[in-house]
Amino acid sequence: MNRRNALKGLGLSLGYVVATPTILGLLQSCQNDVKNLNIWTPKFFSENEGTFMKIVIDLILPKTDNLPGALDLGIPEFLDLYFFKVYSGKEQKETKEGLEAMMAELDITENNPAVNLKKATFSDFLNKYLRITKAEENVLRENKNGKVILDTLQGIRYLTVWAYKTTEEVGEKILAYDPIPGEQKGCISLKEATGGKAWSL
């Protein structure tokens, strides 16, 4: 499926997370930091975890000829702050456990940092956990380590897509955006209403 078409319909297939002004402010500051400084000191992730997240998030939403990638919009930096400032202690602990399990499976350590691995290794890893049938997912969930990795990766993918759609760049220039909606038309198709695009707001 064409990535632009996939993005148009994401709002129809994902649940909703409320983007409060505070969260939107976090996201905007991350985008500005990336554009202006291109320097990142993670607050929640370790340096190695931050590199791991950048590689994984880039594979989830890479840059294309006509669309910015997640890295262009500061999504790894945003998720770092989101986990640090918004997640509860329990959620932070579970996320760290998931990161540790993923890095252990890929044999990522201080002596063998994430940056040393080939991109194909990460692609194979994501395919193993995210491009699977329901039956394969059920098998993975029978194993404690598999369940932890699967839950964490699914959460990262969901938050990556959510944060991407929430950015000003995507919300106003790619998705259907109307800050001052007009009349309500209840029984028309998405194609007729927005040209097939999901609503930004």
Helices marked H in the chain: 3-13, 21-36, 47-60, 75-85, 89-105, 119-130, 134-141, 144-166, 168-173, 190-194
pLDDT at 196: 67
Which tens digits make up the pLDDT trace of 50-105? 999 999 999 999 998 888 889 998 999 999 999 999 999 999 999 999 999 999 99
Tell me the CA end-to-end span of the chain in Å, nearest whole number: 24
- CA distance linking residue 58 with residue 70, whole number of Å: 6
Record the pTM: 0.72
pLDDT band (50, 70, 90) for residue 36: very low
Which tens digits make up the pLDDT trace of 125-181? 999 999 999 999 999 999 999 999 999 999 999 999 988 888 877 666 666 556 666
